[in-house]
Amino acid sequence: MNRNKVCIIVEKHEEALSDRGARLFEQKAIEAVKAEGRFWVALSGGSTPRRMHAKFADRPSIPWQEVHVFWADERCVSVEDPSSNFGSAWEDFIGKVPLPSEQIHAMPAHGPPGEGALSYEREIKRILSPKEGRFPSFDLVFLGLGRDGHTASLFPAQSSLEEDERCVVAVKGGDPDVDRLTLTLPVINQAKEVVFLVSGKAKAEVVQAVIEDEGGAFPASRVRPGMLTWLLDRDAASLLSEETLTQR
Ligand code: 6PG
């Protein structure tokens, strides 16, 4: 099994967590641009990252001209729909920062989902240009965590969890229970770093189960990149053992 480096960071509340996440984004962007001249990042959907996304506009040193923003998943709804991950990100920061439009890689949420998945896979490969036979490697992928242990739109007991060739697939499920596009595990695990951003007491049980249950029963348990960071607030981390917290 891929032995990855796991780091757990606990902030006292959601505001501090969001601030830490925005500073991490800025730091990783600066490092990637310094080293490679660009920063390839995939954002999570859902509600947790929105406060962090809103803080991106206040981070003075993010090198937007060299940043390419992708998504880990998207609901196949109109951008005006409140459940649209792209629509939320536009509201939270994209419409407020000097990110060149050709570097905003929204998932094609209109049209037939299967075709959207193929077209997004082509877009990722066009920009990240992986070596022959290798999965594209994002510099950073943010993920959220559902109470059932799902992440991105990889839901328990769905065949998408076993996908080992495609980078993007069309699925249906979640809340809202709609058609979705999602990155697959091979491309998530090819990322240089994955950061789970999780907040609130309601997630404490699943956080503890995913981090401490070596059984790997959940979709999120199968996220094993070279570098994995759990960015939690105290409530979400409240059931983790002292041993887990001191080890990492
Ligand atoms: C999605 C998300 C999903 C989300 C979790 C947590 O588009 O549905 O990517 O994986 O991160 O469901 O959602 P909350 O942050 O809203 O709790």
DSSP-assigned letters across all residues of the chain: ----EEEEEEESSHHHHHHHHHHHHHHHHHHHHHHHS-EEEEE--SSTTHHHHHHHTT-TT--GGGEEEEESEEESS-TTSTT-HHHHHHHHTGGGS---GGGB-----SS-HHHHHHHHHHHHHHHH-PPTTS----SEEEE---TTS-BTTB-TT-GGGG--S-SEEEEEETTTTEEEEEE-HHHHHTSS-EEEEE-SGGGHHHHHHHHH-TT--SGGGG---SEEEEEEETTTTTTS-HHHHHH-
Tens place of pLDDT per residue across the chain (248 aa): 445 789 999 999 999 999 999 999 999 999 999 999 999 999 999 999 999 999 999 998 999 999 999 999 999 999 999 999 999 999 999 999 999 999 999 999 999 999 999 999 999 999 999 999 999 999 999 999 999 999 999 999 999 999 999 999 999 999 999 999 999 999 999 999 999 999 999 999 999 999 998 778 899 999 999 999 999 999 999 999 999 998 87
Give the number of domains in the chain: 1
CATH number of domain containing 132: 3.40.50.1360
pLDDT at residue 3, as a whole number: 57
Range of the domain at 235: 3-247
Q: With a 6 A CB cut-off, is 73 part of the ligand 1 pocket?
A: yes
CA–centroid distance, 28 to ligand 1, in Å, is 22
Q: Degrees (nearest 5) of the Cα angle 122, 127, 133?
A: 65
pLDDT at residue 1, as a whole number: 43
CA–centroid distance, 198 to ligand 1, in Å, is 10
Q: With a 6 A CB cut-off, is 152 part of the ligand 1 pocket?
A: yes
Q: With a 6 A CB cut-off, is 108 part of the ligand 1 pocket?
A: no
Q: With a 6 A CB cut-off, is 14 part of the ligand 1 pocket?
A: no
Q: Which of 14, 17, 48 to mutate to test the pocket of ligand 1 (most atoms within 8 A of CB)?
A: 48
pLDDT at residue 216, as a whole number: 80
- Tokens 């993007």 locate to 168
